[in-house]
Amino acid sequence: MLIESRSLWAAQTNCYVVASQHGGLAVVIDAPPDPDGVGALLRRHDLTPAALLITHAHIDHIGGARAVAGVNHVSAYLHPDDTFLAEAPEDQLRSLFGMVPPGDYASPDRFVDLADGERLDLAGVGLDVLHTPGHTPGHCCFLLAGEGVLFSGDQLFAGSVGRTDLVGGDWETLMASMEKKVLALDDAVEVLPGHGPATTIGHERRNNPFLQGLA
């Protein structure tokens, strides 16, 4: 399985491409507001996108979705509980920067709804959807079936967890998602987060100060 990433935009958001082989079809996970950067990541392995999966609708993960999905004529997937965020990208930008930087941040006209527990089979890539609200109401993680890899978005980072002080965030909900969905996974599962370096479930269970006391 080919997994490649690149940190993009001002927030250094990790965009991932997942494919069964070089030169084939790929699944893109998260689209920061840097479609040229996403395109360069695909071209590095001569990949053609088959679908775009969005972990959550914060601007640094979804700001390039319309460009990536539209140019490539592929479906974009998002949990419906984050639709309200996807519909207001300018509000998010103003809260971050006090203004709207030049660019096209509009969401695709339509999303395919993600549902907790469903299996997505896209371009030869099998991904299980874990709805993990807390950072946002519709936040989802994606478990790469059979490979022991979790794309955790902004749920879990190396040494930290997602913030909950933005619109729709809730600390108790985040921790419940962590305990019931994320820490239920095997210690050997590799965690590929939305920001920063990779880690493992076991390492975070033992060392992440925010997870101490959880089952």
Task: Give me the pLDDT at residue 34, please.
Answer: 96
* Domain hosting residue 119, numbered range: 2-207
pLDDT of residue 21: 93
CATH number at residue 36: 3.60.15.10
- Examine residue 213 and state whether it is found in any structural domain, yes or no: no
Asked if residue 79 is part of any domain, the answer here is: yes
Q: For residue 215, is it within any domain?
A: no
Domain-embedded: residue 201 = yes
State the pLDDT at residue 26. Answer: 97
In sequence order, what are the beta bridge partners of 7? 14
pLDDT at 30: 98
15 or 214: which leads in pLDDT: 15
Q: Would 150 be classed as within a structural domain?
A: yes
Structure letter (DSSP) for residue 66: H
Residue 10: the pLDDT is 93
| Res 145: pLDDT | 81
Q: Which residues is 151 bridged to in the sheet?
A: 142, 192
- Is residue 30 included in any domain, yes or no? yes
Average pLDDT over residues 170-199: 98
pLDDT over 80 (residue 215): no
Nearest by Cα to 130 from 196, 201, 74, 198: 201
- φ, ψ (nearest 5 deg) of residue 202: -60, -45
Beta strand extents in 44-139 (DSSP E only): 48-53, 75-78, 112-113, 119-122, 125-131
Is position 63 within any domain?
A: yes
Residue found by looking up tokens 């695709």 in the block = 108
At 102 the pLDDT is 86
Q: Is residue 108 part of a domain?
A: yes
Look at residue 213 in the predicted model and tell me its pLDDT: 86
Q: How many distinct structural domains can be found in the chain?
A: 1
Radius of gyration from C-alpha coordinates of the chain: 16
User: How do residues 68-126 score in pLDDT, each as one tens digit?
Assistant: 999 889 999 999 999 999 999 999 999 888 888 988 898 998 999 999 999 999 999 99
Beta bridge partners of 63: none
Q: 28: closest CA among 58, 64, 81?
A: 64
Instruction: List, in order, residues 6 or more apart from 177 with CB less than 8 Å away.
Output: 131, 132, 133, 134, 139, 155
Q: How far apart are the first and last CA of the chain?
A: 31
Q: pLDDT by residue (tens digit) across 4-54? A: 999 999 999 999 999 999 999 999 999 999 999 999 999 999 999 999 999
Q: Is 168 left (phi over 0), alpha (psi -120 to 50) or beta?
A: left
The reported pLDDT for the residue numbered 173 is 98
Q: How many CB atoms sit inside 10 A of residue 98's CB?
A: 7
